[in-house]
Chain A
């Protein structure tokens, strides 16, 4: 798999730019994804979303359903799209270091 360098760190990613392993996530990764996803500025709301996704993934082993993400963060789906233009899967999950969404997407 290809590697990308950012902020002095090297990340292994797949062809869609998802990180190879949740364990290799760090704060530089967030900055890297921020640029790739066209996000101007990281706000507390971005961090809160990432935090919720990571906590849920550590606890349950899966990414939360969109309804759960909305309920826990308090952000409606529309607002999640405003934060992450690619949406909760390709944007927020990628930034949080979760595995790439699967199924008939």
Chain B
């Protein structure tokens, strides 16, 4: 799945942040962008509406460095979360190597989390990708929210079989952002070296 360019000796992997609207996908990318040194990251591209809701996607290239002579690079994308943007959301999943599912801890967004996960499975299936073939990490975001639902309750809805690695986060101050990214990156690289 990953693109390996042998002439430039580059390996490129695509990681997509998925989840319901306003769950904090763009905030994750913004935090990564602000904390990673400039020479290791490219420009962040955001196609957003005036009120900063993602319209098409956000994009951030990230350089890992050289591994065994291969320059290894991650491309981070977010999808627009709102239900009615499914056509563009589906496009962004094309060729995905790893997924971070950002769930919202707010009590009135539990159902939105469930619907977004179901939508992810449907969209992957339309690309002919089995959910089990893509590394997925679950990030339960907005833990600082008053009245935040228990992690286990959210997990029971989006990951009832408890198959996914789970992280708690508050993306706006950076808690859990790097841990999540690191884990999904590692899963992608492990898969790459096995295939």
Q: Do A and B bind each other?
A: no
Interface residues of B (CB under 8 A from A): none
